[in-house]
Structure 1
Amino acid sequence: MMHIFLFISVLAAYFVKAITGFGNTLVMGSLFAFIMPNALITPIDLVLGMPTNIYIAWRERKNISLKVVIPLALMLLIGIIPGTFILKMGGEGLLKSIFGVVVAGIGIEMLIRNTKKSEVKKSNPALLIMIGLSSGVLAGLYGIGALLVAYIGRITPNKNQFRANICCVFLVENIFRFILYGYTGLLNKQILSLVLILSPAVILGMMMGIKVDKYVSEVTMRKAIIVLLIISGIVLFLKNILIN
């Protein structure tokens, strides 16, 4: 029964990933948290998600902007190191809750602002550094890229450019985190065996999502991003303040 639950959770997570370019960690992590610790969830999500980021980045390669990807990726990598060691030590509850409030707040701000396609914001260096470093800590701890999602959503005009840049940044982060997790012992035989079992769910979820994506408009895509950000923040907060 446990493997069936995990399989369905992964299928749903990567159905969302295929459409939005992110959200797999939110869906999978929230459901997996009922039956396993974060120290297992994050590495599993990393290994499952890396091939999908390669695929989406390649598929949308014409829409990748190095001006967006390179500075965000650099800041992200710097933040991943402390985040990974906090995950290793297990002292992440309060930090996760604080980030939950921030992420939900960003989603609500996007909802209130209701940005149109023509109102794309310019990249702000100070904001980029803050978001990049914070996202790195979050990625090291939980593989969460919600702050990056919000930022890239503000500076890209359409869903293809959004998916291309977010998945390209995620891919750089994935490779670095894969090496770091291996070094710190967070990747082990238990993780890899579960990845093998759950890989078919990733493929099936991606195939379903790609077919549905043809019918998803820019407006629907933006609403989905906002909803996922708000839910992500609320889940992070509730799990660590009200439950723990």
Structure 2
Amino acid sequence: MSHEQLMIAAMTVALAAFVQGASGLGFALIVTPVLMLMQPDLLPVCVLILMLPLNAYVAWRERHALNMRSVGWVSLGRFVGTFGGLAVLVVLSAQAMAIFVGASTIAAAVVTWFIPAFAPGIMALVAAGLITGITETATGIGGPPLALTLQHRPVAEMRATIAVCFIVGEVISLVFLFFMGKVQASHLQATLILLPALFVGMFASRFVHSRISARVMRFFVQAFAIVSGLVLLVKAF
């Protein structure tokens, strides 16, 4: 990346870490479209690695509200979905991947506006994990299915549970990607360069996470996701 692109990526990572640290989701929705536009070969590995310390921090901060039952069922579906995500990486071209990322990002954001309130059962949790396994392994984006499933739980519970589900899923995806030869030295180098920006956004979120309006933050994430997805689709076509 050029110096200008690196600055844009760093600012994006800092903003995304702040958003996810405060609301529990949004990092991949914000970072993935930007990296896809500037350096798509960093996806999904760079996003997956960056999310490990971020989600570990959120999970530790909100550990009192963690719902391990939900984590278990989501992780079961997440493991199975990983194989679907790996298949997507093998089959799709760069253009098709851009279309897939753009369309899935927009669809996930739009669906969150209309889904009614419900209490998730076992099937809903496993299905959320399955879909997350496919989308996060292929693109780095896994938050929308989990957020949709847990959005009506208490905010602290949602943040903690999603964070632990992410950690489990990211480790699974990275292990499979590593053995497929998809993890390169360039991914690790880019991650190290962007880590300071991640820590800035991550720790800044601690000052607002208990006071920020979840509704406003969700709207911001959804709006950014739709705009980013549209830009990707226009560029792909």
TM-score scaled by length of structure 1: 0.84
**Partner Cα separation in structure 2 for residue 207 and residue 139 of structure 1:** 24
Amino acid at match of 1:108: W
The equivalent of 1:243 in structure 2 is 235
Q: Which moved more, 1:64-73 or 1:26-35?
A: 26-35
- The 5-angstrom pairing of residues 161-180 of structure 1 reads 161-180=157-176
Q: Is the 8 A contact 1:88 1:186 kept in 2?
A: no
Q: Is the 8 A contact 2:16 2:30 kept in 1?
A: yes
**Partner Cα separation in structure 1 for residue 67 and residue 210 of structure 2:** 23
Q: Is the 8 A contact 2:76 2:126 kept in 1?
A: no
Q: Which moved more, 1:199-208 or 1:131-140?
A: 131-140
The equivalent of 1:108 in structure 2 is 113
Shift of 1:102: 3.4
The equivalent of 2:146 in structure 1 is 148
Q: Which moved more, 1:122-131 or 1:52-61?
A: 122-131
The equivalent of 2:214 in structure 1 is 221
The equivalent of 2:37 in structure 1 is 34
**Partner Cα separation in structure 2 for residue 86 and residue 95 of structure 1:** 9
**Partner Cα separation in structure 2 for residue 141 and residue 63 of structure 1:** 30
Structure 1 unaligned regions, length at least 5: 116-120
Shift of 1:230: 5.3
Shift of 1:78: 0.8
1:14 to 13, 17, 29: 17
**Alignment RMSD:** 2.2
**Partner Cα separation in structure 2 for residue 150 and residue 174 of structure 1:** 19
Shift of 1:35: 1.1
Identity %: 21
- The 5-angstrom pairing of residues 18-167 of structure 1 reads 18-37=21-40, 39-91=41-93, 92-93=97-98, 95-96=100-101, 99-110=104-115, 121-144=118-141, 145-154=143-152, 156=153, 158-167=154-163
Q: Is the 8 A contact 1:103 1:233 kept in 2?
A: no
**Partner Cα separation in structure 2 for residue 43 and residue 53 of structure 1:** 15
Q: Is the 8 A contact 2:137 2:173 kept in 1?
A: yes
Number of aligned residue pairs: give it. 229
Amino acid at match of 2:53: P
Q: Is the 8 A contact 1:107 1:230 kept in 2?
A: no
TM-score scaled by length of structure 2: 0.86
**Partner Cα separation in structure 2 for residue 224 and residue 108 of structure 1:** 13
**Partner Cα separation in structure 2 for residue 214 and residue 171 of structure 1:** 22
**Partner Cα separation in structure 1 for residue 55 and residue 18 of structure 2:** 13
Q: Is the 8 A contact 2:58 2:163 kept in 1?
A: yes
Structure 2 unaligned regions, length at least 5: none
Amino acid at match of 1:13: A
Q: Is the 8 A contact 1:146 1:229 kept in 2?
A: no
Q: Which moved more, 1:133-142 or 1:162-171?
A: 133-142
Distance 1:226 1:81, change over 3 A: farther
Shift of 1:18: 1.2
Q: Is the 8 A contact 1:106 1:229 kept in 2?
A: no
For residue 133 of structure 1, give the secondary structure of its aligned residue in structure 2.
Answer: helix
**Partner Cα separation in structure 1 for residue 31 and residue 104 of structure 2:** 18
Amino acid at match of 1:40: L
